């Protein structure tokens, strides 16, 4: 490629990075943490579900039967069961839903006033995951029942990563477009890095600060090339699918009816009710699933035509040998019929690609092993724009004829320190905040309350970084604060739950123990790294002064 | 066990590809490293299935390659 074209690509690479770099760091860093959002952080955030006994399938069958008599007949059109501690539920939920809403007395409604659709209604029963006692019940329109659902730090961080809590469509559009700009940065990066293969092992941290940034940026970029491409593509797809791709596909093939499009590919068919009574063998099917594949975990159960001879059960499961989510289908007698993935109905490779999008992005397709790899690489993805931005600043400030004033570079540096350092602190502050709002200052909806410490701390850091005289000192202090927050997570957990390292181990709370120990270790490592970095920087600065003096002398 | 073996092979493969901070030009080392990495990919595939195995292999190579490159100077110093 001609050097003129490479120069143009370099300019494009730089400007895309400068414009989107901070936001990309924010998305990538929260994404790395979100990998463990469900169920690991969920379990840590809710100590009462950390060590649940295996689900009592007979009890679930009994509860469905018992409560099916407490709802009107048409509510049994579909029964949904959400299991605790698997994905986002902390409790066991059983929901009886009528897709066609409340029954309308035809005699009392004149022809012209008949509504086209009655809005779906449901009755939701919430049970304690340990005692299986009823803790709450709600009845009403489905959209109202889920309008103000309670959430905690795990949904908070995953939701922030998905749409920056800006909602649809703006939030999803923003993250989707960022995925596209990341792909653009990757492609331009490949072309401008001419010795991409030859220098893939090159890292010279002791020669100069600039060279350390340059080599680090290239090493993380080259080795993480395939991973970052996968993350950028799946991220762009997940962000844009709902707000752009689905409406566009619906417009082309379904006259703009998005619900119909989604139903065509994902909905489960309604059975033709024969009105022949037959108990639905829920427990038997549940138990059979566990024998199908190793590692298969049931998340949800949908029952159609409950209590009828034509009843069907659809178990939503993850894990096992397939990458995507699976639907395992049983008839009412508890006989296994088949299992398929969500988009298996689509012809060709389209179904496979759609099925792997979500697991590939979040790394939940191979247990903790893959999640650890995805998290560490996700941190690498976050470091890529950060090192790029620092490199841009370094080159700009040290250029013979800087393009912008030193003040401009300094203001931008402060924005980087505040924006990136702030999100790291805000993210780790969610851990103590979760426990604070759960035990010390109980609130109805912890997720909503978490907005204050999260965005408050982030804004505070941005403000301090913007007025502090030396941004390097601020960066160092931010690293220290992050280390102390990380170190505090374990003791806070011990204080609020009363369980120490050994009791957590003996109670089988390995996930929360893992989070506690990891955070503590990271805190110790960060403190050590700050000390070492100070030493290295002093060495490099001394080396630079010696070289400069020698050159001047010559 | 297979996962551990495949990860170790990946690390050996990455290690063999490096010569003084550059990609090795030694043909034999290149061939041996490639064979080891392919074998590692096959092991991941047999443990997790082809599709999952490929992506886990990509992840592990990215991770080991990055860490090895960034921490290699410490080995040199030692």
Question: Is the model's pLDDT at A290 over the cut of 50?
Answer: yes
What are the Cα distances from residue A410, in Å, to A21, A391, A414? Answer: 16, 14, 6
Instruction: Specify whether A135 is located in the same domain as A268.
Output: yes
Chain B residues with CB-CB distance to A under 8 A?
A: 3, 17-18, 21-23, 48-49, 51-52, 55-56, 58-63, 65-66, 68-70, 72-73
Instruction: Specify whether A326 is located in the same domain as A436.
Output: no
Residue A303 vs residue A103, higher pLDDT? A303
pLDDT at A195: 83
Question: Is the model's pLDDT at A259 over the cut of 60?
Answer: yes
Please check whether residue A10 lies inside any domain of the structure. no
A489-528 residue pLDDT tens: 999 999 988 877 788 788 778 889 999 999 999 999 999 9
Pull the structure tokens for residue B38.
């392919």
Domain total of chain B: 1
A57-80 residue pLDDT tens: 999 999 999 999 999 988 999 999
Full domain range(s) for residue B43 = 2-77
Please check whether residue A163 lies inside any domain of the structure. no
What are the Cα distances from residue A139, in Å, to A117, A142, A446? Answer: 19, 8, 23
Question: Is the model's pLDDT at A322 over the cut of 90?
Answer: no
Mean pLDDT of A14-43: 96
Confidence band for A447, pLDDT divided at 50, 70 and 90: very high
Which residue numbers in chain B have pLDDT < 50? Answer: none
Instruction: Specify whether A347 is located in the same domain as A414.
Output: no
Instruction: Specify whether A493 is located in the same domain as A355.
Output: no
End-to-end CA separation in angstroms for chain B: 31
Please check whether residue A7 lies inside any domain of the structure. no
Instruction: Specify whether A257 is located in the same domain as A327.
Output: yes
Full domain range(s) for residue A467 = 404-554
Instruction: Specify whether A529 is located in the same domain as A426.
Output: yes
Which positions in chain A touch B70 (Cβ < 8 Å)? 203, 216, 219-220
Mean pLDDT of A113-121: 69
A201-228 residue pLDDT tens: 999 988 888 999 999 999 999 999 999 9
Nearest CA in chain B to A324: B52
pLDDT at A552: 52
Domain total of chain A: 2
Give the Cβ contact number of residue A213 at 10 Å: 21
Give the Cβ contact number of residue A529 at 10 Å: 14
What are the Cα distances from residue B3, in Å, to A68, A369, B10, B68? Answer: 47, 9, 10, 19
Chain A residues with CB-CB distance to B under 8 A?
A: 197-206, 216, 219-220, 222-227, 230, 321-323, 352, 356, 360, 363, 365-366, 369-370, 373-374, 376-377, 380
**How close does chain B come to A194, measured CA to CA in Å?**
14
Exposure string over A112-131, b if 16+ CB within 10 A, otherwise e:
eeeeeeeebbbbbbbbebee
pLDDT at A509: 83
Confidence band for A554, pLDDT divided at 50, 70 and 90: very low
Give the Cβ contact number of residue A209 at 10 Å: 17
Instruction: Specify whether A333 is located in the same domain as A429.
Output: no
**What is d(CA A497, CA B31) in angstroms, rounded to the nearest whole number?**
55
A153-164 residue pLDDT tens: 999 999 999 999
Instruction: Specify whether A415 is located in the same domain as A344.
Output: no
Please check whether residue A204 lies inside any domain of the structure. no
Strand, helix or coil at A94?
strand
Instruction: Specify whether A126 is located in the same domain as A256.
Output: yes
Q: What is the DSSP string of A321-333?
A: SSSS-EEEEEETT
| C-beta separation of A141 from A156 below 8 A | no
Percent of chain A residues topping a pLDDT of 90 = 63
Least confident of A53-67, A116-130, A262-276, A293-307: A262-276
- Give the pairing of strands A336-341 and B18-19: unpaired
Please check whether residue A145 lies inside any domain of the structure. yes
The partner residues of A96 in beta bridges, in order of sequence, read A79, A123
A185-201 residue pLDDT tens: 999 999 998 788 888 99
């Amino acid at each position: 490629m001609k050097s003129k074209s490479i120069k143009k690509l370099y300019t494009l690479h730089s400007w895309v990075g400068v414009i989107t770099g901070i936001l990309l760091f924010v998305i990538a860093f929260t994404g790395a943490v979100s990998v463990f959002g469900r169920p690991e952080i969920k379990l840590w955030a809710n100590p009462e579900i950390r060590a649940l006994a295996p689900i009592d399938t007979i009890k679930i069958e009994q509860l469905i039967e018992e409560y099916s008599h407490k709802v009107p007949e048409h509510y049994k059109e579909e029964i949904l069961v959400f299991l605790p501690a698997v994905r986002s539920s902390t409790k066991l939920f059983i929901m009886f839903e009528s897709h066609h809403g409340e029954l309308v007395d035809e005699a009392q409604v004149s022809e012209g006033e008949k509504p086209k659709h009655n809005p779906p209604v449901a009755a939701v029963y919430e049970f304690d995951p340990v005692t299986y006692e009823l803790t709450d019940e709600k009845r009403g329109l489905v959209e109202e029942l889920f309008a103000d659902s309670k959430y905690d730090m795990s949904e908070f961080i995953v939701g922030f990563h998905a749409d920056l809590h800006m909602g649809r469509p703006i939030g999803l559009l923003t993250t989707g477009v960022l995925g596209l700009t990341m792909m653009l940065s990757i492609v331009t990066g490949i072309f401008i890095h001419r010795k991409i293969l030859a220098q893939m092992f090159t890292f010279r941290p002791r020669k100069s600060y600039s060279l350390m940034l340059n080599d680090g940026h290239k090493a993380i970029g080259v080795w993480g090339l395939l991973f970052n491409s996968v993350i950028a593509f799946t991220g762009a797809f997940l962000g844009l699918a709902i707000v752009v791709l689905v409406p566009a596909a619906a417009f082309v093939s379904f006259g703009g009816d998005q619900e119909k499009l989604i139903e065509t590919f994902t909905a489960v068919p309604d059975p033709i009710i024969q009105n022949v009574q037959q108990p639905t063998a829920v427990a038997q099917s549940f138990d059979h699933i566990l024998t199908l594949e190793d590692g298969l975990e049931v998340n949800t159960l949908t029952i159609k035509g409950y209590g009828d001879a034509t009843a069907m059960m659809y178990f939503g499961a993850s894990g096992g040998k397939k990458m995507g989510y699976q639907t395992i289908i049983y008839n009412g007698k508890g006989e296994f019929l088949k299992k398929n993935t969500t988009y298996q109905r689509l012809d060709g490779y389209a179904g496979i690609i759609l099925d792997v999008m979500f697991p590939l992005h979040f790394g939940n397709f191979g247990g903790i092993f893959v999640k650890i790899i995805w998290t560490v690489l996700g941190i690498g993805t976050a470091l890529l724009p950060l090192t790029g931005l620092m490199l841009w600043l370094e080159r700009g400030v040290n250029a013979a004829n800087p393009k912008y004033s030193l003040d401009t570079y300094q203001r931008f540096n402060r924005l980087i320190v505040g924006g990136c350092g702030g999100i790291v602190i805000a993210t780790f502050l969610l851990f103590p905040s979760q426990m604070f709002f759960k035990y010390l200052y109980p609130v109805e909806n912890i997720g909503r309350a978490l907005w204050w410490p999260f965005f408050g701390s982030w804004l505070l850091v941005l403000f301090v970084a913007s007025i502090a005289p030396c941004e390097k000192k601020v960066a160092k202090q931010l690293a220290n604060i992050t280390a102390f927050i990380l170190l505090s997570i374990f003791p806070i957990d011990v204080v609020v739950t009363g369980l120490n390292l050994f009791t957590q181990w003996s109670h089988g709370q390995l996930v929360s123990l893992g989070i506690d120990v990891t955070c503590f270790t990271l805190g110790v490592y960060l403190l050590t790294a700050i000390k070492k970095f100070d030493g290295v920087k002093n060495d490099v600065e001394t080396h630079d002064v010696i070289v400069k003096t020698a050159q001047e002398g010559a | 066990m297979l996962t551990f073996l495949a990860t170790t092979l990946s690390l050996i493969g990455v290690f063999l590809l490096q010569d003084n901070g550059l990609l090795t030009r030694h043909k034999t080392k290149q061939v041996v490293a490639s064979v080891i990495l392919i074998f590692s990919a096959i092991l991941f595939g047999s443990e997790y299935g082809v599709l999952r195995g490929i992506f886990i292999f990509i992840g592990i190579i990215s991770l080991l390659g990055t860490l090895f490159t960034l921490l290699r100077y410490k080995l040199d110093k030692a």
